[in-house]
Structure 1
Amino acid sequence: MMEWLALVMFVLVCLVLMLGYPVAYSLAGTALIFAAVCSLFGAFDMAYLSALPSRIYGIMTNQTLLAVPLFVFMGVMLEKSRVAEQLLTAMGQVFGRYRAGLAVSVILVGMLMAASTGIVGATVVTMGLLSLPTMLERGYSPALATGSICATGTLGQIIPPSIALVLLGDVLSSAYQRAQLNMGIFSPESVSVGDLFVGALIPGLILVVMYLLYVLGLGFFRPQSVRKDQPEQPRRLGILPLLRALMPPLILMVLVLGSILLGLATPTEAAGVGALGALLLAMFSRQLSLKRLQEVMLNTTKVTAMVFLILIGASVFSLVFRGLGGETLIEDFFTGLPGGVFSAMLVVMLVIFLLGFILDFIEITFVVVPIVGPVLLMMGVDPVWLGIMIAINLQTSFLTPPFGFALFYLRGVAPESVRTSDMYRGVIPFIILQLLLLAGLALWPELATWLPDKIYS
């Protein structure tokens, strides 16, 4: 009976979150109330909660999670330093003369911003403010304009350095160690954030290419959706302004990702390098002031506090869930499925996709992944491949109507002439492209595992 109480608690948490209550309090509060009520009827042993102080201490001393505030600081600082504005202006002048050139510019700039910041909200809002009015003015259909901006903004979920990959790496590392203990294996090996960063490079680049092919295909087969019939006057751009716009994010990418790929720094150390690099870039571009630094630090503190508070709430939830026997129920369900690993992965991917309609990626990462991760890893699933599959699925959740967060971000800065239905129609092709990538990864796991094996072998 206790096992089904765990599922009831999970459903109840989802309902509370849908009502709009704060995530951390919803997770911890619902779990504690459930634990107290169930303990009165002998269905829960309160001794499980004695592990909570050590869990919280483990979060406080976790070296991997130190990368979160550093990457957030780097992303917010770059947002305030007008790097995206300079990049978009330069790219627009290079590609704007070609059919669908502005959409191509948006995708390329979004890719560079994703590889520099890793923050979806900042990228979507910045690109929406800078490029959406111009795209509409030049005759782009509202659906294509908003869809390309939303989809490009979500690249920060999969292209490293990504906050989502940092959090996933930490959660999967704990799940991997728990799976090994359950199997009676005592090994120091674990899943590192660096493995996920390297594994995400090829899928991330493939997704960018798919986006580019889609908008170029529209430009060729449906030119009326990407520009006016009147040709634009080409604008000349000197090589020096182009290099001046491209070099800052490229240098930062090389410093952060290059140090990880070459084994010179851990992701946490690379995050420190990135934060310092963003600070220096803002200083050299004369965009750094005491007021701006205060704004960046305040935003960084807010985001970091939110993430860690949710993590503490999720720890309370997972303890109560395990105490009610939910982990055993999930394990029995997956192992009893016909089709073995394939069916288990299909069910998990479908559940995460559906939860993406109503929950944020942080909530899914901290609530769902610790429940299903150990079971899948015990079934022999590669942890890096699992992490990339979940990351792409979570990226799709940012676009799925009606609760896709990228849609909310863009709706807040889009002109009133752009209807919400246009945005919904615009993101559907990009959702399909992401699902195609997910299917490709399912068929060829080497897309995610080949590069980490090559580098770390």
Structure 2
Amino acid sequence: MEFLPLYLFAAVCLLLMLGYPVAFTLAGTALAFAAGGILGGVFDAGFLSALPGRVFGTMNNTTLIAVPLFILMGTILEKSRIAEELLGSMARVFAGLRGGLGISVVVVGMFLAASTGIVGATVVTMGLLSLPSMLRAGYSPALATGTICATGTLGQIIPPSIALVLLGDILANAYQRAQLSMNVFTPKTVSVGDLFVGALIPGLVLVAMYILYLTIYARLKPEAAPPAEGEDISLLEVMRGLLPPLLLIFLVLGSILIGAATPTEAAGFGAVGALLLALVRGQMTFDRLRDAVMDTLGVTCMVFMILIGAAVFSLVFRGFGGEELIHGFFIDMPGGVMGATLVVMLVIFLLGFILDFIEITFVVVPIVGPILLAMGVDPVWLGIMIALNLQTSFLTPPFGFALFYLRGVAPDSVPTGAIYRGVIPFILIQLMLIGALWYWPEMATWLPEKLKQ
């Protein structure tokens, strides 16, 4: 009985590695364990009576409405070729610089991350748009693919991010459970807006570190990142390609930061703004709009089905005493709070090889979040650390998701080994940022606290 929660968790991970659908694996495995527990007299069926309330609570959660709206905003910008025009403009701006094409990919990737917020979509889009251009310009395959993979994962940390929306909602619930179920007062709470604000400084620092690395690399190995050939571009042309999507992102994010709109309201504004922008540019047809809506519907259905499956898993895990088991393990761990946090980060990093951020957010964070918050961990810092941790995991060979996404769209002339070599420097950069954030938590907590004053 004592180790049944761990067996349940291990069984779910094994089935997911075998390729079974995530939502049905979570719910089905949990219900199978619960049925066996009821027959064996070691599980209280009353725990399952809370499931309808969980599902109804999800339906009434206005914060989660931001998920399909942000996804729709990103898919409209992608389908309407606004991202393609933006990349073309930025590539011409930096064409005369060594490493300039790589820098333009990082800048455009940052904008795509702020609009799409989904790693797979950003990596695939940037791979299709920029990889052929970088290879034609004479870039080494390792540098080109590494840059694209790294910028594609910026969607984890650059707000407004789908990952931060989901993390903010889960951590808010974890905060409430830390107070109610464990009878421990935690002085801070967290919202999606807090995570957006907290992610600004680490996200911009990471982008600056990428650009600095590309600049230094191009100077040390100019043959690997030569200047790209391109026509001169006027300031008017730059503004035409850059200003509209940039203004939309600033309006969406700025309305959240100054408290003028909730993330859900800002997401609705962003989706409508993206649609109007595409219509004004003459880039939106009925077929493209239908494709954007259908893509949004598919991703949204996946997210919410996983959320329901995770709710079943969480109830059964708690019914078997999983929270008490994990809490006792953390309390007895050497190193106290930092030791427990380090173990959680390591587990999340390893799970990032086999699970997407949605599964990890819905399955792992509800288990460990209340315990860490009850131990005094700052919720904003914890959310940003988890996002950066997953971002690094998605880049790490041989199982990083970003590597698989790029491999699927890269030409056969680019060997897989080149992709693996190319991401290593960017992994080291991300680890440096995680270390800095661990040592200086104020990187994530200072701005949210400042804005609340």
Q: Aligning the two structures, in what range does the TM-score lie when normalised by the shorter sequence?
A: over 0.9
Cα 1:347–1:225 change in 2 (3 A) is same
Secondary structure of the 2:362 match is helix
Q: Indicate if the aligned counterparts of 2:164 and 2:192 stay in contact, CA closer than 8 A.
A: yes
Indicate the residue corresponding to 2:121 in structure 1.
122
Once residues 109 and 188 of structure 2 are traced to their aligned partners in structure 1, the CA distance between those partners, rounded to angstroms, is 35
1:85 aligns to 2:84 (yes or no): yes
Indicate the residue corresponding to 2:314 in structure 1.
318
Once residues 51 and 182 of structure 1 are traced to their aligned partners in structure 2, the CA distance between those partners, rounded to angstroms, is 15
Q: Percent identity?
A: 68
Q: Shift in Å at residue 427 of structure 1?
A: 1.0
1:53 aligns to 2:74 (yes or no): no
Any gaps of 5 or more consecutive residues in structure 2? none
Once residues 57 and 67 of structure 2 are traced to their aligned partners in structure 1, the CA distance between those partners, rounded to angstroms, is 15
Q: Shift in Å at residue 271 of structure 1?
A: 0.4
Indicate the residue corresponding to 1:140 in structure 2.
139
What are the superposed Cα offsets for residues 63-119 of structure 1, whole Å, 9 maximum, x if unpaired? 110100100100100001111111111111111111111101100111111122212
Calculate the TM-score normalised by the size of structure 2.
0.98
Secondary structure of the 1:206 match is helix
2:15 alignment partner AA: V
Indicate the residue corresponding to 1:352 in structure 2.
348
Indicate the residue corresponding to 1:103 in structure 2.
102
Q: Shift in Å at residue 445 of structure 1?
A: 0.4
Indicate the residue corresponding to 1:73 in structure 2.
72
Once residues 187 and 27 of structure 2 are traced to their aligned partners in structure 1, the CA distance between those partners, rounded to angstroms, is 31
Cα 1:121–1:239 change in 2 (3 A) is same
What are the superposed Cα offsets for residues 386-442 of structure 1, whole Å, 9 maximum, x if unpaired? 000001111112212223221122112111100111111111111111111111111
1:57 alignment partner AA: F
Q: Shift in Å at residue 287 of structure 1?
A: 1.1
Alignment of 1:77-226 (within 5 A): 77-184=76-183, 190-226=189-225
1:242 aligns to 2:238 (yes or no): yes
Q: Indicate if the aligned counterparts of 2:348 and 2:390 stay in contact, CA closer than 8 A.
A: yes
Indicate the residue corresponding to 2:273 in structure 1.
277
Q: 1:445 aligns with which of 434, 441, 445?
A: 441
Cα 1:434–1:233 change in 2 (3 A) is closer
Cα 1:448–1:186 change in 2 (3 A) is closer
Aligned length: 453
Secondary structure of the 1:191 match is coil
Q: Indicate if the aligned counterparts of 1:356 and 1:400 stay in contact, CA closer than 8 A.
A: no
Indicate the residue corresponding to 2:37 in structure 1.
38
Secondary structure of the 2:19 match is coil
Once residues 44 and 397 of structure 1 are traced to their aligned partners in structure 2, the CA distance between those partners, rounded to angstroms, is 35
Any gaps of 5 or more consecutive residues in structure 1? none
Cα 1:104–1:348 change in 2 (3 A) is same
Q: Indicate if the aligned counterparts of 1:3 and 1:328 stay in contact, CA closer than 8 A.
A: no
Q: Indicate if the aligned counterparts of 1:97 and 1:235 stay in contact, CA closer than 8 A.
A: no
Once residues 134 and 286 of structure 2 are traced to their aligned partners in structure 1, the CA distance between those partners, rounded to angstroms, is 35
Once residues 417 and 250 of structure 1 are traced to their aligned partners in structure 2, the CA distance between those partners, rounded to angstroms, is 35
Q: Which moved more, 1:446-455 or 1:116-125?
A: 116-125
Indicate the residue corresponding to 1:379 in structure 2.
375
Cα 1:155–1:286 change in 2 (3 A) is same
1:393 aligns to 2:392 (yes or no): no
Q: Indicate if the aligned counterparts of 1:120 and 1:154 stay in contact, CA closer than 8 A.
A: yes
1:455 alignment partner AA: L
Cα 1:53–1:423 change in 2 (3 A) is same
Cα 1:173–1:133 change in 2 (3 A) is same
Once residues 288 and 228 of structure 2 are traced to their aligned partners in structure 1, the CA distance between those partners, rounded to angstroms, is 37
Once residues 103 and 187 of structure 1 are traced to their aligned partners in structure 2, the CA distance between those partners, rounded to angstroms, is 44
1:300 alignment partner AA: T
Q: Indicate if the aligned counterparts of 2:189 and 2:379 stay in contact, CA closer than 8 A.
A: no
Once residues 304 and 188 of structure 1 are traced to their aligned partners in structure 2, the CA distance between those partners, rounded to angstroms, is 33
Calculate the TM-score normalised by the size of structure 1.
0.97
What are the superposed Cα offsets for residues 180-208 of structure 1, whole Å, 9 maximum, x if unpaired? 11343689974210000000000000100
1:26 alignment partner AA: T
Q: Indicate if the aligned counterparts of 2:167 and 2:361 stay in contact, CA closer than 8 A.
A: yes
What are the superposed Cα offsets for residues 246-290 of structure 1, whole Å, 9 maximum, x if unpaired? 012111112101101111001111001101111101101111111
1:355 alignment partner AA: L
Q: Indicate if the aligned counterparts of 1:48 and 1:323 stay in contact, CA closer than 8 A.
A: yes
2:225 alignment partner AA: V
Once residues 118 and 244 of structure 2 are traced to their aligned partners in structure 1, the CA distance between those partners, rounded to angstroms, is 17
Secondary structure of the 1:398 match is helix
**How large is the RMSD of aligned CA atoms in angstroms?**
1.4
Q: Indicate if the aligned counterparts of 2:156 and 2:163 stay in contact, CA closer than 8 A.
A: yes
Q: Shift in Å at residue 359 of structure 1?
A: 1.1
